[in-house]
Structure 1
Amino acid sequence: MSNGTGWRAMAGIGVRLNKLFEKRSIVTALAGMGYSTAVTITPMVVVMAAILLMEKLLGFYNLPYVTKEVFLCTTLYIFIFAMLAASPLGAVISKLMSDIIFEEKFGDIMPCYYTGLALNMVIAAVPGLAFVIHALAVGKVAPAVIMLGYIGYMVLVFVFYTMNYLSICKTYEKIMLFYLIGMAFAVVLSLILRYAAGAAAEISMLISIDAGLCITGGLALAALRQYFGMCSRNYGRLIQYIGRFRKLTAANTLYALGLYVHNFVFWGSELGTHVLDTFVYAQSYDLASFIAMFTNISTSVIFMANVEMHFHKSYKEYSEAVIGGRYIDIEKTKNRMFGTLVNEIMSVVRVQFIISVVMYLVFSVVLDRFGFNGLVMTIYPVLAAAYFIVFIMYCSFIFLYYFEDVTGALRTALIFFIFTAAGSVIAAQFARMWYGSGLLAGAIAGWTYAYFRLRWIEKNIDYHIFCRGSILKRKRAGRPSGIAYLRKEQGR
Structure 2
Amino acid sequence: MAGIGFELKKLFHRHGLVAMARAYGYAGIICSGPMLLGILLQFGVLAVSGWWHVPRSQQDLLVCMVTYTLLASLVLTSFFSMPVTRFLADMIFEHRERTILPSFWGSNALMLMLGTVLYGIFLVFSGATLLQGLLCLWLFTEMVVNWNAMSYLTAIKDYKSILYSFMAAVVAAFLTACAALALGVPPVEGLLLAVAFGYGVMLLWDVILLNRYFPQSDEDPWAFLRWVDRFMPLALTGLATTVGLFSHLIITWMGPLGVHVKGLFYGAPYYDVPALLAFLTILVTTINFVVSVEVNFYPKYREYYSLLNDGGAVKDIVTAEKEMLSVLVRELHYTALKQLFVTAAVISLEKSVLGLLPLGFNDMMHGYFRTLCIGYALYAVGNTVMMILLYFTDYRGALISAATFAVLTTALAAIGQLLPATLYGFGFLLGSSVFLLLAVVRLDMYTGNLPYHVLGEQPMVAWHREGPFAKFGRWLGLWDGGITRAMRTGRRK
TM-score, with structure 1 as normaliser: 0.84
Separation in 2, partners of 1:252, 1:45: 19
The answer to whether the Cα contact below 8 Å between 1:13 and 1:172 also exists between their aligned partners in 2 is: no
SS of corresponding position for 1:404: coil
Residue number among 272, 286, 289 corresponding to 1:286 in the alignment:
272
The answer to whether the Cα contact below 8 Å between 1:60 and 1:202 also exists between their aligned partners in 2 is: no
SS of corresponding position for 1:302: helix
Separation in 2, partners of 1:66, 1:381: 28
Within the alignment, does 1:334 sit opposite 2:334 as a pair?
no
Counterparts of 1:303-314 in structure 2, within 5 Å, are 303-314=289-300
Separation in 1, partners of 2:74, 2:299: 32
Counterparts of 1:18-417 in structure 2, within 5 Å, are 18-19=13-14, 47-57=38-48, 62-135=53-126, 139=127, 141-167=128-154, 169-196=156-183, 198-231=184-217, 233-323=219-309, 324-370=311-357, 371-374=359-362, 375-417=364-406
Q: Deviations over 1:349-393 (max 9, x none)?
A: 122333333444454322212234212211111110111110111
Q: Name the counterpart of 2:414.
A: 425
Separation in 1, partners of 2:397, 2:154: 24
Q: Deviations over 1:154-181 (max 9, x none)?
A: 2111111112321455555533321221
Q: In terms of Rg, which structure is larger? A: 1
Q: Name the counterpart of 1:16.
A: 11
The answer to whether the Cα contact below 8 Å between 2:26 and 2:163 also exists between their aligned partners in 1 is: no
Separation in 1, partners of 2:5, 2:207: 15
Within the alignment, does 1:454 sit opposite 2:440 as a pair?
no
Q: What is the percentage of aligned positions where both structures have the same residue?
A: 21
- The AA in structure 2 aligned to 1:457 is Y
Q: Name the counterpart of 1:490.
A: none
The answer to whether the Cα contact below 8 Å between 1:40 and 1:298 also exists between their aligned partners in 2 is: no
Check 1:243–1:211 CA distance in 2 against 1; reply closer, same or farther (3 A cut): same
Check 1:455–1:12 CA distance in 2 against 1; reply closer, same or farther (3 A cut): closer
- The AA in structure 2 aligned to 1:131 is F
Offset, 1:63: 3.9
Separation in 2, partners of 1:421, 1:9: 33
Separation in 2, partners of 1:322, 1:150: 49
Count of equivalent residues: 459
Separation in 2, partners of 1:47, 1:252: 20
Q: Name the counterpart of 1:488.
A: none
SS of corresponding position for 2:255: coil
Offset, 1:434: 3.1
SS of corresponding position for 1:104: coil
Check 1:164–1:248 CA distance in 2 against 1; reply closer, same or farther (3 A cut): same
Q: Deviations over 1:277-317 (max 9, x none)?
A: 31112111111111111011231221122233222111122
Offset, 1:84: 1.5
The answer to whether the Cα contact below 8 Å between 2:3 and 2:154 also exists between their aligned partners in 1 is: no
Check 1:459–1:11 CA distance in 2 against 1; reply closer, same or farther (3 A cut): closer
Separation in 2, partners of 1:210, 1:245: 33
The answer to whether the Cα contact below 8 Å between 1:310 and 1:340 also exists between their aligned partners in 2 is: yes
Greater CA drift, 379-388 or 107-116: 107-116
Check 1:61–1:75 CA distance in 2 against 1; reply closer, same or farther (3 A cut): farther
The answer to whether the Cα contact below 8 Å between 1:91 and 1:248 also exists between their aligned partners in 2 is: yes
TM-score, with structure 2 as normaliser: 0.84
Q: Deviations over 1:48-91 (max 9, x none)?
A: 44554455556676444543332221112122222222211111
Q: CA RMSD in A?
A: 3.0
Gaps of at least 5 residues in structure 1 are: 1-6, 477-492
Gaps of at least 5 residues in structure 2 are: 464-493
Check 1:299–1:149 CA distance in 2 against 1; reply closer, same or farther (3 A cut): same
Greater CA drift, 11-20 or 71-80: 11-20
SS of corresponding position for 1:162: helix
Greater CA drift, 147-156 or 187-196: 187-196
Separation in 1, partners of 2:370, 2:24: 22
The answer to whether the Cα contact below 8 Å between 1:46 and 1:183 also exists between their aligned partners in 2 is: yes
Separation in 2, partners of 1:437, 1:170: 39
Offset, 1:32: 7.0
Check 1:169–1:91 CA distance in 2 against 1; reply closer, same or farther (3 A cut): farther
Check 1:28–1:233 CA distance in 2 against 1; reply closer, same or farther (3 A cut): closer
- The AA in structure 1 aligned to 2:248 is H
